Chain A
Amino acid sequence: MSQAFRLSEGGGIDRAQLVTFTFDGRRYQGYAGDTLASALLANGVRLVGRSFKYHRPRGVVGLGSEEPNALVRVGRGGRVTPNLRATQVPIEDGLVAESQNRWPTLDWDLGAINSRFARFLPAGFYYKTFMAPAAWWMTYEKVIRRMAGLGKPPEHEDPDAYEKRHAHVDILIAGGGPAGLAAALAAARNAKETGKRILVADENPAFGGSLLNGPAMIDGRPAAAWVEETVAALQALPNVTLLTRATVFGYYDHDFLTIAEHGTFGAARQRLWKVRAKKVILATGAIERPLAFADNDRPGVMLAGAVRGYLHRYGVRCGDTMAVLTNNDAAYACAAEAKAAGMAVAAIADLRAEPGADALTLAREAGIAVLPGHAVAGVSGTKAVQGVRLRKLNAAGDGFDGPAMRIACDLVAVSGGWTPAVHLHSQAKGKLDWDEDLAAFRPGRRFGANVSAGACNGTLDLAGCLAEGAAAAGGGIDLPATGSDLSGAPHMLWRIPAGRGAKRFVDLQNDVTTSDVALAAREGYRSVEHLKRYTTLGMGTDQGKTSNHHGLALLAGATDRAIPDVGTTTFRPPYTPVTVGLFAGRDKDAFAHPVRRTALHDWHVAQGAPMTDAGLWKRPQAYPRPGESLNDAIRREVLAVRDNVGLVDVTTLGKIDIQGPDAAELLNRMYINAWKKLPVGKGRYGLMLREDGMVWDDGVTMRLAEHHFLMTTTTANAAAVLQQMEFLLQTQWPDLKVFVNSVTEHWFAAAVSGPNARQLLNKLTTDIDMSNDAFPMMAIRQGTVAGLPARVLRISFSGELSYEVNVAADDGVALWQAVLDAGEELDLTVYGTEAMGVLRIEKGHVAGPELDGRTTADDLGLGRMVNANKDCIGKRSLDRPGLNETGRLQLVGLECDDADGRIPFGARIVAEHKDGAQDQLGHVTSIAQSPVLERSIALALVRDGRNRHGEHVYAASPTADGGKGAWARVRVTGPVFFDPEGERLHG
């Protein structure tokens, strides 16, 4: 391709490096240093997208992050990113980009028919049309979704890596234009002694900001040379970090800012900076405003500053013949420089009756015709500008006088003044003040350690920007400058007269017109926040960077208020869109919810055990043998424990070491039962409540010495129980002399359970007397097992004779192997969490599903544990009437009537087997297929359950069996199905 609109020289591009890319399937060439927008413009491509609502043809409008129209989808497969601004996408060989909001092609778009029915698509259209009946919403939504554009999300998982970086800096400078660079220079000079850390970030590929858009002189040198020298000097300093293609997109509490940086960071292409700054200098510049004239959205209508930028940054002419519409002096330089570069300038229409004297001189010297008090009355051409009609405005500016002049042109350069980019100031909760001269909001009272400098502070002349930047960083440098001013107060005409039916777009990205704003005002939307939501003005991915002020001003006009009385909408991060992957970085999957492993993890996995989640822990469900189903394995494992001996990894239970003279007192206050008389070497089962009286946690706590206890918590609550104990000790009971430490991680724990458990352990220990008399139930002994220092607890979750052996976790593998070796001749069976669950359900032991935060000790049949003679957390709440009335859900067992039937998972308990509504009596909490009872059993919470033992009810789940639903007739029993007297424990 020819790059017919590329100038023969100039621009910061590398003409030695030709780059080939495709746009909508067509191959184009540009140069290294081009953006997608500049390369397309160089190739004469005008049409780059379709608009959101009316699918009108659209072209590039801006130069950088303010671009509302040229949104493209870049990349392929999982690497695709929608809604990128073509003005910010650097081209590289092989880049694949597509336009958006069009079907089937950009050139021939069926959605454009919306344009013909535009009068049926006014503001609030969705709210008005798609209202009723509610059931139709599902249909409406699909239609709306297809027609509403703004890009398709990627269809595959993102294969890319994203990097993160925390930083603490003394000074963060957001923006590397004249004000930002001057600030950096001053900051570096003033930090020479202190080595203060300075970070400068700019969203563009190169520093310089507006200095790159045209000629200027700074400190006696051309601006470009000054930028180069300044950047080189800063780069040489160890305490200064310079980031390009790095957008400061968020300003959060306590001067925490986020930066999205593009580049190469190891395997990643984007990096998220999380910066805590002692001081922030905001030098984010200003955004040029379009003007609201008829058909101001046609491809070829561009911001004058952008036209100038393409000329100087990229050596690109945005057209052959240009007409200019302006309300300030800035656009004159654009016109003069364009003409000097070989473009034709048909005329400058200036809304002002009296343009600035310097501007007029500039035009005259360049030989450009100026039409004061004129405006664009219409644009011809649909997919590209072919000409404009210029007319003289009447004195009031609300109509035209005299005939229209038709001018042929393919480019309309527009300048409606400059809007300070106050986004970061506002995100930091700073206030905004209306500046009548600028016709814009500028930073008012600030919040946080920041200061705005330069154009973002409303200072538009170059010397002023440099001075303000330097002053913000402590001053000490003087930078005389001329040229490249954005100066001249704009004459705001928020709505330029137009013929009936002509569209004057305010928000190009969301297709909001002047009429939409007027309609919203007529319908009573006086609040700018309401206007925004009703019309969607400013709600696109650009957050209305080029449209907000027009929206506010038109609403103010329509409601007879001053603009500052209308106020502004809230600016929220991000300044420009950020990919979700950037926030996640590497902290996803196993790194976001870090996997916890016991010492035996690798062994479990090597056995082929399916692993299940227990909080962050991974635990083995069961150990199926070759050819064995999971259910078969569970059954085998349960029967092995009941009939012989089994081994299970129980490391994950929480363990808290409690030491101090008040240790027993602390336990008394934490648990509902009493602890002071517990003998050394013995333990008991404890139950903990929340302060509202509901059961929170349970476990066995052992007394190791007079002032030393070892508490066991559930796996799930291990951290929370420790946190609560620390809370109480540090804030409520500081008088208690007791220290608590988590020792969960230090210990490996394995339970040996079953009638032959003692026989097995006897083979492994010589110094612990395992006999029933010497080592009774609920006792703890210290000694060695398999030669390893160990604590052995005689406790049982399975209901069988059972010992829990604790060794230091480093010894876990050795202990396990020794038990396996010793168990070989006893046919020891290793079992997993599923068998453990079946064993505890058969015994009616409560666990997580029963401790659901709504059950009291009495509900669970444990009410007798509450000690009457002391207080504990939650006890006072037990007196509340609601916890004592009849009709509470109580723990029961359920046995399936049909030996081959199954109690459905999560079933509701009802009295009758029938369709239709009936009262719920309760719900199933845990189910098991009991190998001992040879039937399906369950624990359930049932209304007045303890009085229903023997009754038959139904367990029903409408969602079981893939939605078909399932029923089971069940008999209500006590919760203990097996060995209710506990004889086996003491064997």
Chain B
Amino acid sequence: MADPATKHSPLATLTVPDRLTGGTADVSLTERPFLGKLVLRGGDGIHDAVRPVLGLDLPAPLRSAASGRLQVLWQGPDSWLIVGERETVGYTEEALRVAASGLHAAVTDVSSGTTVLRLAGPAARDVLLKGCGIDLEPPAFGTGSCTPTRVAAFAVTLVQIDDAPTYDLYIARSLARTFAEWLIDACGE
């Protein structure tokens, strides 16, 4: 394994204004870099096959699920994103391949392909609503909800973590910088 110190997140050189990192503001923005991520694709039988590996049920459409070490995000009718620490995800990748062998399924490492921006605080929803056209208020969308959607010109996977509200935004690596700048601008003064 390479020394993690040599890894570079797509936002390594981004400066987030102090007002968004202070912890007292209405909204904060932080990156959760270097998470491990797998795309799990599978049809019939996939739920039962991977349950022992993940220690949880694959989430239903528009939902996420979490165990202590892994988070699973629904991405589409036969598609989930499995997220966790790199090492955990590394073990999981092999275990999933074994568990799903014999099924029509696919496991693909996409760890570096996205980064995660965490937007949290009482004003977080208002910031998202500057660019997101779906209903983000309960009951339409609440803690545990998860959907791929569009924020301004960007394709993101949006997950609500808690009622603060806290959101995780999964954004393609190449667009991460531009999207983070959009969010910072949308967070305003």
Contact = CB atoms under 8 A, between A and B. Distances in A.
- The answer to whether A and B touch in the complex, with CB atoms under 8 Å apart, is yes
Interface of A: 163-168, 197, 266-267, 274, 276, 585-587, 590-599, 601-602, 616-617, 657, 659-661, 737, 739, 741, 743-748, 787-789, 808-814
Nearest to B39: A741
Interface stretch (B53-61, B63-71, B133-141): B133-141
A277 to B, nearest CB: 12
B177 A597 contact: yes
Interface stretch (B17-25, B101-109, B157-165): B101-109
B7 A595 contact: no
A745 B173 contact: yes
B50 to A, nearest CB: 15
Contacts of B109: 746, 808
A591 B10 CA distance: 17
A559 B163 CA distance: 66
Contact of A809 (B78, B108, B113, B129): B113
Contact of B173 (A168, A657, A809): A809
Contacts, number: 132
A586 B135 CA distance: 21
A737, A787, A808, A809 — which one has the most chain B CB atoms within 10 A of its CB? A809
B8 A659 contact: no
Given A587-B153, A659-B108, A745-B113, A814 B8 contact: yes
A743 B2 contact: no
Interface string B121-155: 00000100111110101001000000000001110
B112 A808 contact: yes
A40 to B, nearest CB: 35
A739 B41 contact: yes
B15 interface: no
A814 B177 contact: no
Contacts of A599: 8, 10, 173
A148 B16 CA distance: 50
Given A597-B177, A741-B108, A165 B130 contact: yes
A598 B6 contact: no
A17 B2 CA distance: 68
B29 to A, nearest CB: 15
A977 B112 CA distance: 39
A598 B152 contact: no
A167 B125 CA distance: 11
Contacts of A745: 110, 112-114, 172-174
A810 B9 contact: yes
A904 to B, nearest CB: 35
Given A597-B10, A598-B174, A741-B106, A746 B111 contact: yes
B151 to A, nearest CB: 10
Interface in B80-98: none
7 contacts: A267-B188, A590-B181, A591-B182, A597-B177, A617-B174, A745-B110, A789-B2
Given A586-B186, A595-B177, A810-B34, A168 B135 contact: yes
B178 interface: yes
B174 A168 contact: no
Contact of B140 (A168, A592, A593, A744): A168
Q: DSSP majority for the B interface? A: mixed
Contacts of A814: 2, 6-8
A956 B7 CA distance: 51
A196 to B, nearest CB: 11
B78, B126, B135, B174 — which one has the most chain A CB atoms within 10 A of its CB? B174
B138 to A, nearest CB: 10
B112 A587 contact: no
Nearest to A594: B178
Nearest to B8: A813
A747 B175 CA distance: 14
Given A617-B174, A659-B41, A789-B2, 7 more contacts: A276-B135, A596-B174, A599-B8, A739-B104, A745-B172, A747-B112, A809-B112
A737 B105 CA distance: 9
A588 to B, nearest CB: 10
Q: DSSP majority for the A interface? A: mixed
Across chains A and B, which 10 residue pairs bring their CB atoms closest together, nearest first? Answer: A266-B188, A746-B113, A745-B113, A659-B106, A596-B174, A809-B112, A814-B6, A168-B135, A739-B106, A739-B41
A116 B125 CA distance: 61
Nearest to B174: A596
B93 to A, nearest CB: 12
B113 A591 contact: no
Given A274-B133, A741-B39, A811-B6, A594 B179 contact: yes
A659 B112 CA distance: 20
Nearest to B179: A594
A657 B41 CA distance: 12
A660 B106 contact: yes
Contacts of B175: 594-596, 616
Given A593-B153, A745-B113, A746-B109, A166 B189 contact: no
A601 B152 CA distance: 23
A597 B110 CA distance: 17
Contacts of A657: 106, 108
Contacts of B129: 165-167
Contacts of B10: 597, 599, 809
A591 B152 contact: yes
B53 to A, nearest CB: 18
A267, A591, A812 — which one has the most chain B CB atoms within 10 A of its CB? A591
A594 B153 contact: yes
A747 B174 CA distance: 11
A789 B93 CA distance: 15
Nearest to A590: B178
B106 to A, nearest CB: 4
A920 B106 CA distance: 52
B124 to A, nearest CB: 14
Nearest to B76: A726
Contacts of B178: 590-591, 594-597
Nearest to B4: A810
B115 to A, nearest CB: 9
Contacts of A808: 109, 111-112
B149 to A, nearest CB: 11
Contacts of A661: 104
Nearest to A587: B152
A814 to B, nearest CB: 4
Contacts of B113: 743-746, 809
A747 B173 CA distance: 10
A267, A595, A746, A748 — which one has the most chain B CB atoms within 10 A of its CB? A746
A747 B8 CA distance: 13
Contacts of B105: 739
Nearest to A585: B130
A811 B2 contact: yes
A741 B130 CA distance: 30
A166 B177 contact: no
A746 B112 contact: yes
A168, A616, A745, A808 — which one has the most chain B CB atoms within 10 A of its CB? A745
Contacts of B181: 590-591
Given A594-B175, A596-B175, A617-B174, A746 B6 contact: no
B110 A743 contact: yes
A473 to B, nearest CB: 21
A163 B133 CA distance: 14
A810 B111 contact: yes
Contacts of B106: 657, 659-660, 739, 741
Contacts of B188: 266-267
Nearest to B141: A168
A880 to B, nearest CB: 37
Contact of A812 (B8, B104, B108): B8
A454 B110 CA distance: 58
Contacts of A597: 10, 174, 177-178
A586 B185 contact: yes
A309 B27 CA distance: 44
A741 B110 CA distance: 10
A715 B151 CA distance: 23
Contacts of A166: 129-133
